[in-house]
């Protein structure tokens, strides 16, 4: 949704994108705001303005931290709109026999599954001679577990945790949007 902060940030810039977005009178900062009101924005104008800013000056945008920040903010706002548009298009396609140009309405059957309680029953009724194979198969299907889950498993078995069993993945570097930027 287009937030007040985004409109203020874009207003600081005098670009066609800023003019297109800041002239909209939509404030999504209210908790009761309807996310569907973003569909009333002239999106072709906003997207056209975005492309006018980005494409001719992409080197400038990609090397300017302020412009990159603005572009990331706009992209995040557009990403929030996608599920709303996709849901509306799906509903319309269902009502009109799947006619959304460039898109195909697809039906996927739900997954088949076995409830956890049935697995517990399987373990409780497993012959002792097959228990090791069953536990091994369950562990291999489960795959890696978090440290917390490992500690819970050890506790439920009445065993101490082995500190050497816990591994750590590599760090991930990413950008997080500041709340007041």
User: Between 45 and 86, whose confidence is greater?
Assistant: 86
Specify the 3-state DSSP secondary structure of 157: helix
Q: Rounded to whole angstroms, how far apart are CA atoms 81 and 75?
A: 10
User: Whole-angstrom distance between the N-terminal and C-terminal Cα of the chain?
Assistant: 15
Look up the domain containing 64 and give its range.
Answer: 4-95
User: Average per-residue pLDDT in the chain?
Assistant: 79
Q: Is residue 70 located within the same domain as residue 18?
A: yes
User: Between 41 and 123, whose confidence is greater?
Assistant: 123
pLDDT at 32: 43
Of the candidates 82, 72, 79, 61, the one whose C-alpha atom is nearest the C-alpha of residue 6 is 72
pLDDT at 67: 78
Q: Is residue 88 located within the same domain as residue 40?
A: yes
Q: Is 43's pLDDT higher than 50?
A: yes
Q: Is residue 10 located within the same domain as residue 84?
A: yes
Question: What does the chain come to in residues?
Answer: 181
Strands (E) in 102-168, as ranges, are none
pTM for this entry: 0.51
How many domains is the chain built from? 2
The position carrying tokens 């599954």 is: 113
- What average pLDDT does range 47-58 have in this prediction? 70
- Quick check: is 180 in a domain? no
């Amino acid at each position: 949704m287009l937030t007040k902060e985004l409109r203020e940030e874009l207003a600081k810039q005098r670009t066609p994108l800023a003019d297109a977005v800041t002239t909209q009178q939509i404030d999504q900062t209210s908790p009761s705001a309807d996310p569907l009101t973003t569909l009333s924005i002239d999106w072709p104008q906003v997207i056209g303005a975005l492309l006018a800013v980005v494409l001719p000056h992409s080197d400038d945008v990609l090397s300017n931290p302020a412009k990159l920040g603005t572009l990331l903010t706009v992209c995040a706002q557009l990403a929030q709109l996608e599920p709303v548009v996709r849901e509306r298009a799906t509903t319309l396609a269902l009502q009109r026999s799947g006619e959304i140009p460039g898109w195909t309405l697809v039906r996927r059957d739900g997954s088949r599954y076995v409830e956890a309680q049935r697995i517990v029953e399987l373990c409780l009724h497993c012959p002792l001679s097959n228990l090791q194979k069953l536990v091994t198969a369950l562990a291999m299907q489960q795959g890696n577990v978090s440290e917390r889950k490992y500690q819970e498993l050890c506790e439920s078995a009445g065993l101490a945790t082995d500190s050497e069993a816990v591994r750590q993945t590599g760090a991930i570097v990413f950008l997080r949007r500041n709340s007041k930027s």
